[in-house]
A and B are shown apart, each in its own frame.
Chain A
Amino acid sequence: MTDLLAIGTRKGLWLARSDDDRRSWTVDGPHLLAQEVAAVGVDTRRRAPRLLAGIQYGHWGPTVMWSDDLGASWQETDRGAIRFPEDTGAALARVWQLRPDTAERPDVVWAGCEPHSLWRSTDGGCTFDLMRGLHDHPHRPTWEPGGGGGAVHTVLPDPASDRVTVAMSTGGVYVSEDGGQQWEPRNRGITVTFGPDPLPEYGQCVHKVAVDAGGPDRLYAQNHFGVFRSDDAGGTWTSIADGLPADFGFPIVSSPHAPGTVWVIPLVADMQRVPPDGRLRVQRSRDAGGSWTELGEGLPDGNWSAVMRDAFCADDHERTGLYFGTRDGCVYASADEGDTFTLVADHLPDVLTVRAARLP
């Protein structure tokens, strides 16, 4: 059994492997050198695991590439895996999220993109169809781009139903109960600080959403100020930020096995996107945000970097492994749910995304 960690950066992809139950890692790369890799997916449903990468050539545009030999070679669709239909007048700017669906939907892969759009592939990521229901939503023209661009950056298909949850900066949380045809905003209780109405129906800058292990109706959101929980599939949200050193940040990760367990990595504020006091720390809750414990063994002080929204993930080991990368090119791993961390790689370009998977 090999653990694989895919690390997408501003200038390429690196792959870390562990053959000793995550005690040590070897890193190889760069793959896709000089291409921004803002989204990665590891599709383990296939006979040969497929790496998916949402890439951006500096000059030559964005697309999705894939590798069925763990990075030794890469393919792309001639006309582009993701192409806005002609009638939209839009052009793909960046792929922000690549999400293989469940084993029961073996060739389905979801993509969240900039400009705000959701895409679905039924051929393993070679070609995608625009989900018109979200694209044609009457709110869409008023979704604003955040500082990083206006994008669907989080896609959460429910493995047991036709529910699909997305999060956007800005726009907020939208949910479809019919596989992506019809959508409604579900942001009640999530606050904004950048508009006159602190509780709008939509338009929030939700940075990341995660689903609790206990069931699909419990969600967690790291917002642009505020950490929230919903117990009714996004219908209402309540703050769970009490006890955190700061309520700003980008990623939020939930345990795949333990209900109520969730992690965040706070930053001071939107105007100070650095760890509080320069101490890079992970915060863990075991009670669905009721209380938080700071985790820092193996993590540095004097760190003035940040962790981006997709640069923090968990694996599916019984004892969950955590992985995150920083904008100063360091990647940390924990094999014990955050109790201790070790450095996997450093001096990489800005880490934009990480994904962990177990390979047979």
Chain B
Amino acid sequence: RGQLAALSIAAVVIIVGVPLWWRTTETYRAWLPVSQIQELADLQLQLSADVEVVFARGTVTPEQQKKIPLTLTKDEEHIIDTTSLRYRYEIRYRTATIMEEDALNQPTAAEADLSLHTLSESPCGSLVIYIIPDSSQLLPEKTDVSIGQRRTAVLRVGAQVKVGKTLEQLLTHLEPRIQQVLQVMSFSHTDVTAALSDRVRLSPGSRESIADSMRTFKSSPYEITFSLLNPDPKSHRLHWDIEGAVERYIQPLLSKLAPVANFSIDSQNLYYAMLGVNPRFDSNRNAYTLNADSLAHVINPVEARLSNAASSNPVLNFLLYVPDVNHSPLFIHNHNKQEVPSNAFHSPRWGGIMVYNVNGFYGPDATFPIDINIDMAKVMGVFLAQLLLLGVQSSPLPFGFLVAPCNSFGLADWELDRLMWSRTVENVATATTTITSLAQLLDQIGNIVINDNIAQEVSSAVTALQLAIAELEVGNLGLALQYSKEAILASEKAFFDPSLLHLLYFPDDQKFAIYIPLFLPMCVPIFLSLLKILSEFRQRRKQKQAKKD
């Protein structure tokens, strides 16, 4: 009877007590799509671009023309670390329509570009390449390829392939040129690798090679701050028409860049802002100089006053530094001890500084303070160039390429496409890293409470990521960028959620210190009596066996 009581107590403790203890002490952890996140850890990206190759009259023979239209798919595969990349170009060959022929007969490439643009509105991320005969007057003497302001390129076919060859031969001949055009106007492997730098561990050697692409904007939204540094307000009273200059020079470019990143612009004047380095006097030139090596230290004292209080968005700073009377003129020297013609320098993802010497505006016997109007066209020319350098990477052009001069927006459609390609890939890469590292963290530390809102953000990030990858595969660049932005927003929100910090953390020794006084005295009798019951049971069985025998 005593055994029965001991057994029932043990049973109650195990059936009721343990689950009760378990349920009341567990932390709330919402469900996360772990398997999908693990799938994202090994990323398989496929970038597809639609390319149309249009043959103008005189580039294909009639028998070649019979096989046109024709669609070919070109695949390229790369594997970097855990990421497999596949580039797919869907190339459609067709002959030109009459209207396009007319357009190609325009006298200059720029006009042809414009009229071709009005004929067809090509979607984001796609390209049209027109093949024109050798005899065409459209392109200047030495150039073979002209890239327009939109998404079109004109390619002159060499003289040696005019007749007597099959279409396949023609296409194989054209292939390298088309490939070059695609590399310039669409994504290239180096761009994509650079964009993946968040995911992929790069060797030090390749780090150098992607330094150029690292200059580009990382995420949106951005804040652009123009600061006028006047270290000597006693002598110089500086006036700059920053409102007008921004309206005229910067705003068109930014509205063009709007799909990639949001920008807000502000400006300020900083007085008594000193540089961190004392410029050296160069008696040969009767001027002060700043060396390229010391540029990194120049901004340190100013940096404290550039901070942006009201938002945590990344800031691009453009500083206009007017040297004080005792240190002007001031010139910047590059690594070869040569004067830099723009007198400006920049740093990736930080911004740029331009030194603006004003000592030429007054003679030695001027009375201070002097009112000085700053030539905003000159300043903005430099800042705009720096902004483009920081924002839009350009790959070196192969020989024989001609790029149409930029229009008033400062940025061609295909340049924007390039930006969008790498931005999408980068967003996808960053979001996947964030999500996987978050999942890893939550997996490792079991005490973190996962609230429903975090789970929701994570799953929406995962869905957006999957959608973005799918859209990239299909070639819908605009949608892919949209989804990748959503993914990055949701993933960052989940990662930086303050509720994750509310960690109910108990060291194990403290836990045991609290549990032992209760559990030890309670469990020992139960355990011992269970042992006793077991041994008695065994003994009885032995006795029974003995009786049977």
- Is the A/B pair a real complex? no
Question: What is A's interface to B at a CB cutoff of 8 Å?
Answer: none
Question: What is B's interface to A at a CB cutoff of 8 Å?
Answer: none
